[in-house]
Amino acid sequence: MSDAPVREQVIVFQSARARLLGILSLPLAGAADTAVLIVVGGPQYRVGSHRQFVSLARALASAGFATLRFDLTGMGDSEGDKSSFEVAGPDIRAAIDALSLACPMASRFVVWGLCDGASAAMMFATGDARVSGVIAANPWARSDATLATTRLKHYYTARLLQREFWAKLIKGGLQWRQSLRALLGSVRDARAPGAADGGHTSGQPFQSVMADGLAKFRGRVLLILSGNDLTAREFIEFTRSSKAWRGLLERSNVSRIDLADADHTFSRREWQQRVEADSIAWLNAMRAGASAP
C-alpha cells in the first residue's frame, strides 16, 4: 500500500437538515477521476473507532482517490439533532454534492459505508445517478428474527460445545433457568410470523428499502464481511430468509470478501490494512473497467 502524503482540507456544506462538516483527503499529484464518500456507522463521527476512517481516507487518497469523510446531522462537528440512519438520505446527497464541487474532475463516485452507514448507502446512494459503486462493510439488517436466529446458530450452539459450559452446569454455577428462558425467547422470536422481513406489519421496513435500492442499482457493489461479527452474520441470515433479497447478492455486479477472523470495526491493524488494500484494488478494477472500450 502506498504511503504517499496527502493534503487535507475542511469542507462545510449544507444539508436539507443541517450544516455539516467533513474532511476532504486529496492526492498530492494529479486530479482524481474517482471520488469516494465515507458514510460512518453510528453512533460515530468522521474519525471512527481506532481512527479507522482517518486511515482509510488517507490510504485511498494516497492511491489516487479523493475521499470525503463527514459527520452526519447531530454528530461530531455537524449541527442539528442526531437521528436515525433511515433518514440520512439528504445528508448523503449533500455530501456527494460537496464532493462533486470540490473535485470537478471526478467522473465517478463511490460510497463506502460501515454498519448502518453501509445500509444507508444501499438505501439512498444507489438512487443517485452519479454513484458508480458502493462498498458495504458489515451492513446492518437487524430484526428480531435475525438476532434470534443468529444467537441460536452461533451463540447457543457454540456454548453447548464448550467444556466450561458443562463444568459450570455440573457445579451449579450456571443460572440455567434464566438461560433456558433466553433460549426459548430466541426460538419464539425466530419463528414469529413476518419476522424475517423485519417484523413490520405496516409501512416498508428499512431492510426492504435496502433491497429495493440494490435491485435497481446498475453500478458495482463490494461486500466486506467479518467472520467474527454478529452484525455481519445477521445480515447474511436476513438476506437468506427474505424474499426481497432473493438472488440480489448473487448478481454479477456484486463482489464479496470475507475476513474470517475480523471483528465489526476491523480493530487490528492487519485487518484494517486488508480492508484498505481490498478497497483500493476494487476501486482500481472499477476504474480500469470503466476505461475499457
- Quick: pLDDT tens for 155-169: 555 555 566 654 655
From residue 127, alpha-carbon distances to 110, 135, 196 in Å are: 12, 15, 25
Residue 230 maps to a domain = yes
Domain match, 138 and 161 both: no
Are 230 and 217 in the same domain? yes
Q: Which three cell numbers stand for residue 199?
A: 417484523
Mean pLDDT, to the nearest integer, of 132-136?
98
Is residue 119 a part of any domain in this protein?
A: yes
CATH assignment of the domain containing 27: 3.40.50.1820
The pLDDT assigned to 261 comes to 97
Does 79 lie in the same domain as 96? Answer: yes
Confidence check: pLDDT of 47 > 80: yes
Segments forming the whole domain that contains residue 241: 6-143+202-291
Of 191, 210, 229, the domain-final residue:
191
Whether residues 158 and 93 fall in one domain: no
In a shared domain, residues 133 and 77 = yes
Residues 175 and 252 in one domain: no
Q: Are residues 115 and 34 in the same domain?
A: yes
Q: pLDDT tens digits for 67-79?
A: 999 999 999 999 9
Per-residue pLDDT, averaged over 121-128, amounts to 97
Reported as a pLDDT band with limits 50, 70 and 90, residue 203 is: low
32 plus 161 within the same structural domain: no
Flag the least confident range among 117-126, 164-173, 235-244: 164-173
Domain tally for the chain?
2
Q: Which residues touch 275 (CB under 8 Å, ≥6 apart)?
A: 56, 137, 224, 259, 266
Integer Cα distance of 59 and 55 in angstroms? 6
Give the mean model confidence (pLDDT) for residues 102-124: 97
Assigned domain for 132 exists: yes
pTM for the full model?
Answer: 0.82
* Helical ranges in 137-229 per DSSP H: 144-150, 157-160, 163-171, 176-191, 206-216
Does 77 share its domain with 171? Answer: no
CA 38 – CA 18 distance, rounded (Å): 18
Burial 203-217 (b: 16+ CB within 10 A, else e): eebbbbbbbbbbeeb
Q: What are 151's strand-pairing partners? A: none
136 within a domain of the structure (yes/no) = yes
Which of these three, 191, 219, 249, is where a domain ends? 191
Position 14 in a domain:
yes
Does 45 share its domain with 172? Answer: no
Same domain, 124 and 150: no
pLDDT band for position 195 (cuts 50, 70, 90): very low
Radius of gyration of the chain (CA): 20
138 with 242, same domain?
A: yes
